[in-house]
Amino acid sequence: MSTIPKIVILGAGYGGILTAQRLQKELNYNEADVTLVNRHDYHYFTTHLHMPAAGTDSIDHSRVSISRLIDEFKIDLVKSNVQEIRLSDKKVVLQDGTLSYDYLIIALGGEPESFGIPGLSDYAMTIRSINSVRMIRQHIEYQFAMFKADESRTDRLNFVVGGAGFSGVEFVAELADRIPKLCKEYDVDPNMVNVYNIEAAPTILPGFDPDLVEYAMEVLRKKGVQFKIGTAIKECTPSGIVLATGEEIKSATVVWTGGIRGNRLVEAAGFETARGRVKVDEYLRAPGHERVFIIGDNSLMFNPEGRPYPPTAQIAMQQGVVCAQNVVAAIRGKELKKFIFSHKGTVASLGKGEAIASAFGKKYTGWVAAQLKKVVDLRYLLTIGGIPLVLRKGRFF
Amino acid sequence: MSTIPKIVILGAGYGGILTAQRLQKELNYNEADVTLVNRHDYHYFTTHLHMPAAGTDSIDHSRVSISRLIDEFKIDLVKSNVQEIRLSDKKVVLQDGTLSYDYLIIALGGEPESFGIPGLSDYAMTIRSINSVRMIRQHIEYQFAMFKADESRTDRLNFVVGGAGFSGVEFVAELADRIPKLCKEYDVDPNMVNVYNIEAAPTILPGFDPDLVEYAMEVLRKKGVQFKIGTAIKECTPSGIVLATGEEIKSATVVWTGGIRGNRLVEAAGFETARGRVKVDEYLRAPGHERVFIIGDNSLMFNPEGRPYPPTAQIAMQQGVVCAQNVVAAIRGKELKKFIFSHKGTVASLGKGEAIASAFGKKYTGWVAAQLKKVVDLRYLLTIGGIPLVLRKGRFF
């Protein structure tokens, strides 16, 4: 019987890929068996999905084959759905079999949070995967085609984006960029199209600098976005949404971006969770499980002021690096490293040529911010795939 | 009161455009007022629609603005829907007004014929206009996107084309060319996709040379088309079709190409019709109406053997030319010209690089036939729009 420890990584998102790549680099030959489990054979860039969802960029700029990111001689790749995490047995049940582990890294990513709003999970679409994104893109274009077959259905030209956080704002900006092109392709009067962005909070992009928020709203309004801020969605129906004010917006397309919660598999595993997220220790370990690490959207960590870090790609990536180091340290009986989040700044894209950014203690808008956004994207490609990936997937213009 | 005769042309399809262009050329200054009425401000190439319908070519290769084809100083263009032809009043009622005429040319085009098959007009799509074609294209791609969201719905990957005449075969060929690309784009196993072509007649492409028919079937089978020949569709339902044999094919996409009948407006005008078509005299005039000409899909003419000519672009164009000559002759009190159809041959496209053709008393297949098809298309562009249109709309490769 092999005494080599088995490391299983669940999920090849930002956290999982970084963990796998670092393990591959740090581990010596035969020091551990590493298996990476993912539902798809590709890794996708969640922070980029707003573009293909709106149809302003191709899917292929948003994903890369995992086999290009990891060395399959060093890491086994299993393409399967995780169905259950059995902590007591140290096993993971997959759709096509079972895996035992000594060390487990849970990097499964989150799920859309509907906050109990009736109808939302039935009638709204969410930007959460390549499949969902292709669906949204096709759904939107199909509405234009269907409208031309029956012009009484003006609700087909109403598009509702629920939530004005990062994803909501970035998506609505791309959608506003795409609408004029769709109008031209389908001979539709652009004045007939309505794009709504609905947000229950008193502001869009909560947490962002107020000046930048104001700038963003101005840019988006000019692109034709109609905001309803401080307005909760009461219900989502087959024919649209009802607001808390009682107002009804008829729409054949509701895209919900209002929030992320932890993965239900994590809850089901028996961890104590808050909105599906597990409060991990400073070494990224699940409470009471020294050899189970949780990173990314399923982990809950607090900043020095005691507020939870929002789930972002940035934190997931940093966690992936530290997680790999800690797994290696644990195997070698060395001391583990504390995770300290280093905030590199934030950029929100506002469509073609427009963005807002806060970084290096400064604020940026417009073209400069849009360039920063590109640099962030390119740096990520460089990190996970080096120059070849930058050249194959990068958007330079 | 003006004594200049008013000529009204209804429809800017193959027949209507050719009539308008010839009138524009033949008429002297102030010899007549010509008005061309069309639902859209563009003319489209019906024989080309199978490509954009399948998504293998852009819409813009299938239409051209009418203002590029006629001289608006010489011909008035009215964009409106015809609602009624009032023969006794010599008036045409449009959605936005009324037009009087002295000479009327009815070139409205036909309508899909469902032969009374239940459900067909409700649940099947038809290739009959730019709007319908964009709808079919988007509907097809949407099925792939939706399938990836719920892979139990394998009916979304079944595509049924009803009718294996010209339009049916040309469309199914393009669809078969498009499927592999859609499979790639949506990560769908091509073996899960089924493309059916159903035909009640004992052969596809009835009237075509049997050797060529056999060749066509072989080409299409290799592309993955499954034929059900000599098999009538008994019913079309929201979930697919039921065949006369009782077999059910579950499908979210049924495209009906099984036949064309005359326009219902022509029937409603009081003409005696057979399947909506009016038996015109040898000068293309409606019976009992010396100044009403009917051309294209709404006219019924017989070949020397007493069989009706099928409604094609070729005959409509030739009718348009003779119709214009006869209207001018009538205005000038000259003798009218008999219409004699000159058959120039037939080409059926079988997708990329493949076709069958019978022309100059010979049969052609494969690459040569595909080139002939392109020549036919380019010649048409040359006829209606000269070199500039050929350069803008032509597909050379």
A204-240 confidence digits (pLDDT tens): 998 899 999 999 999 999 999 999 999 999 999 999 9
Local structure of residue A252 (DSSP, 8 states): S
SS3 string, B209-246, reads: CHHHHHHHHHHHHHCCEEEEECCCEEEEECCEEEECCC
d(CA B161, CA B255): 5
Measured in degrees and rounded to the nearest 5, phi and psi for residue A50 equal -60, -25
8 Å CB contact between A124 and A162: yes
d(CA B133, CA B50): 8
User: What residues of chain B lie within 8 A of the CB of A95, using their CB?
Assistant: none
Taking CA–CA distances from A151, the nearest residue in chain B reads B131
Least CB–CB distance from A145: residue in B135, B145, B185:
B135
Q: What is the mean pLDDT of residues B25-39?
A: 95
Taking CA–CA distances from B139, the nearest residue in chain A reads A142
Taking CA–CA distances from B148, the nearest residue in chain A reads A131
Q: Is A114-258+345-397 in CATH node 3.90.1280.10?
A: no
Q: Please, which pLDDT band fits residue A379 given cuts at 50, 70 and 90?
A: confident
Local structure of residue B135 (DSSP, 8 states): H
pLDDT at residue B203, as a whole number: 96
- Joined tokens for residue A378: 């390119």
d(CA B72, CA B4): 18
Q: Please, which pLDDT band fits residue A397 given cuts at 50, 70 and 90?
A: low
CA geometry: angle A329, A335, A337, nearest 5 deg: 85
Q: Is the pLDDT of residue A28 over 80?
A: yes
Write out the residue limits of the CATH 3.50.50.100 domain(s) in chain A: 6-39+80-112+261-343, 114-258+345-397
User: What residues of chain B lie within 8 A of the CB of A40, using their CB?
Assistant: 187
A269-316 confidence digits (pLDDT tens): 999 999 899 999 999 999 999 999 999 999 999 999 999 999 999 999
Taking CA–CA distances from B58, the nearest residue in chain A reads A185
Question: Residue A77 burial (CB < 10 Å; 0-12/13-18/19+)?
Answer: middle
Strand partners, A359: A362
Q: Which of A113, A97, A88, A79 minimizes the C-alpha distance to A10?
A: A79
**Angstroms from B347 CA to nearest CA on chain A:** 30
pLDDT at residue B391, as a whole number: 82
8 Å CB contact between B302 and B287: no
pLDDT at residue A280, as a whole number: 97
d(CA A256, CA A161): 6
pLDDT at residue A227, as a whole number: 98
B362: CB partners within 8 A, 6+ apart = none
The B-side interface with A (CB below 8 A) comprises: 59, 131-132, 134-135, 137-139, 141-142, 144-146, 148-149, 185-187
Least CB–CB distance from A138: residue in B131, B134, B141:
B141
Contact at CB, B148 and A135, closer than 8 angstroms: yes
B116-159 confidence digits (pLDDT tens): 999 999 999 999 999 999 999 999 999 999 999 999 999 999 99
Write out the residue limits of the CATH 3.50.50.60 domain(s) in chain B: 120-258
Contact at CB, A134 and B59, closer than 8 angstroms: no
Task: Report CA-CA distances (Å) from B103 to B91, B322, B330, B383.
Answer: 10, 15, 9, 25
Catalytic residue (choose from A113, A141, A151, A170): A170
B94-125 confidence digits (pLDDT tens): 998 999 999 999 999 999 999 999 999 999 99
d(CA B308, CA B300): 7
pLDDT at residue B385, as a whole number: 87
Q: At what angle do helices B210-222 and B166-186 cross, to 10 degrees?
A: 10
pLDDT at residue A183, as a whole number: 98
Contact at CB, A185 and B134, closer than 8 angstroms: yes
Least CB–CB distance from B145: residue in A138, A145, A148:
A138
Neighbours of B205 (CB within 10 A): 22
Q: Where are the alpha helices (DSSP H) in chain B?
A: 14-26, 50-54, 120-123, 130-149, 166-186, 210-222, 264-268, 313-331, 366-393
B170 is catalytic: yes
Taking CA–CA distances from B185, the nearest residue in chain A reads A59
Q: Please, which pLDDT band fits residue A361 given cuts at 50, 70 and 90?
A: confident
- Joined tokens for residue B121: 């007009």
- Joined tokens for residue B226: 């499954």
Q: At what angle do helices B366-393 and B313-331 cross, to 10 degrees?
A: 50
Strand partners, A159: A195, A253
Catalytic residue (choose from B111, B113, B170, B354): B170
Taking CA–CA distances from A187, the nearest residue in chain B reads B131
pLDDT at residue B53, as a whole number: 97
A28: CB partners within 8 A, 6+ apart = none
Q: Please, which pLDDT band fits residue B397 given cuts at 50, 70 and 90?
A: low
8 Å CB contact between A123 and A236: yes
A326-351 confidence digits (pLDDT tens): 999 999 999 999 999 998 889 999 99
Question: Residue A394 burial (CB < 10 Å; 0-12/13-18/19+)?
Answer: middle
Write out the residue limits of the CATH 3.50.50.100 domain(s) in chain B: 6-39+80-112+261-343
Contact at CB, A137 and B145, closer than 8 angstroms: yes
Contact at CB, B185 and A59, closer than 8 angstroms: yes
- Joined tokens for residue A381: 């490609």
**Angstroms from A395 CA to nearest CA on chain B:** 19
Q: What is the mean pLDDT of residues A91-98?
A: 95
Question: Residue B275 burial (CB < 10 Å; 0-12/13-18/19+)?
Answer: middle
Q: What is the mean pLDDT of residues B68-78?
A: 94
Among B39, B41, B64, B131, most A C-beta atoms within 10 A, so best to mutate, is B131
User: What residues of chain B lie within 8 A of the CB of A138, using their CB?
Assistant: 138, 141-142, 144-146
Place of tokens 């097809």: B140
Residues A204, A143, B394, B127: what is their CA dihedral angle, to the nearest 10 degrees?
170
User: What residues of chain B lie within 8 A of the CB of A139, using their CB?
Assistant: 142, 145
Contact at CB, A148 and B131, closer than 8 angstroms: yes
pLDDT at residue B396, as a whole number: 63
**Angstroms from B366 CA to nearest CA on chain A:** 33
pLDDT at residue A207, as a whole number: 85
8 Å CB contact between A157 and A143: yes
User: What residues of chain A lie within 8 A of the CB of B131, using their CB?
Assistant: 145, 148-149
- Share above pLDDT 70 across residues of chain B, in percent, rounded to a whole number: 99
The pairing of strands B103-106 and B6-10 is: parallel
**Angstroms from B133 CA to nearest CA on chain A:** 9
Neighbours of B305 (CB within 10 A): 5
Taking CA–CA distances from A148, the nearest residue in chain B reads B131
pLDDT at residue B344, as a whole number: 87
pLDDT at residue A341, as a whole number: 95
DSSP B19-85: HHHHHHHHSPTTS-EEEEEESSSEEE-GGGTHHHHHTSS-GGGSEEEGGGTS-TTTEEEEE--EEEE
B212-248 confidence digits (pLDDT tens): 999 999 999 999 999 999 999 999 999 999 999 999 9
Task: Report CA-CA distances (Å) from A358 to A226, A361, A368, B50, B198.
Answer: 25, 7, 11, 51, 61
User: What residues of chain B lie within 8 A of the CB of A131, using their CB?
Assistant: 145, 148-149
CATH number of the B6-39+80-112+261-343 domain: 3.50.50.100
- Joined tokens for residue B88: 């006794």
| Amino acid at position B19, single letter | T
**Angstroms from A215 CA to nearest CA on chain B:** 35
Contact at CB, A149 and B135, closer than 8 angstroms: yes
Give the number of beta-carbon pairs within 8 Å between A and B. Answer: 48
Neighbours of A264 (CB within 10 A): 13
Q: Look up the CATH architecture of domain B120-258.
A: 3-Layer(bba) Sandwich (3.50)
Query: Could you give the 3-state DSSP secondary structure of residue A245?
Result: coil
Q: Is the pLDDT of residue B392 over 90?
A: no
Contact at CB, A142 and B142, closer than 8 angstroms: yes
Place of tokens 């699940």: A286
Least CB–CB distance from A134: residue in B134, B139, B148:
B148
Least CB–CB distance from A134: residue in B132, B135, B145:
B145
Q: Is the pLDDT of residue A1 over 60?
A: no
Half-sphere exposure of B336 (CA within 13 A, CB side): 18
Place of tokens 């590109």: A374
Q: Please, which pLDDT band fits residue B389 given cuts at 50, 70 and 90?
A: confident
**Angstroms from B264 CA to nearest CA on chain A:** 19
Q: How far apart are the first and last CA of chain A?
A: 54
Q: What is the mean pLDDT of chain A?
A: 94
Among A79, A143, A147, A148, most B C-beta atoms within 10 A, so best to mutate, is A148
Least CB–CB distance from B148: residue in A131, A148, A149:
A131
Q: Is the pLDDT of residue A101 over 70?
A: yes
Contact at CB, B138 and A138, closer than 8 angstroms: yes
d(CA B79, CA B263): 18
Q: Which residues of B150-171 are buried (b: 16+ CB within 10 A; e: fewer)?
A: eeeeebbbbbbbbbbbbbbbbb
Q: Which residues of B6-26 are buried (b: 16+ CB within 10 A; e: fewer)?
A: bbbbbbbbbbbbbbbbbbbeb
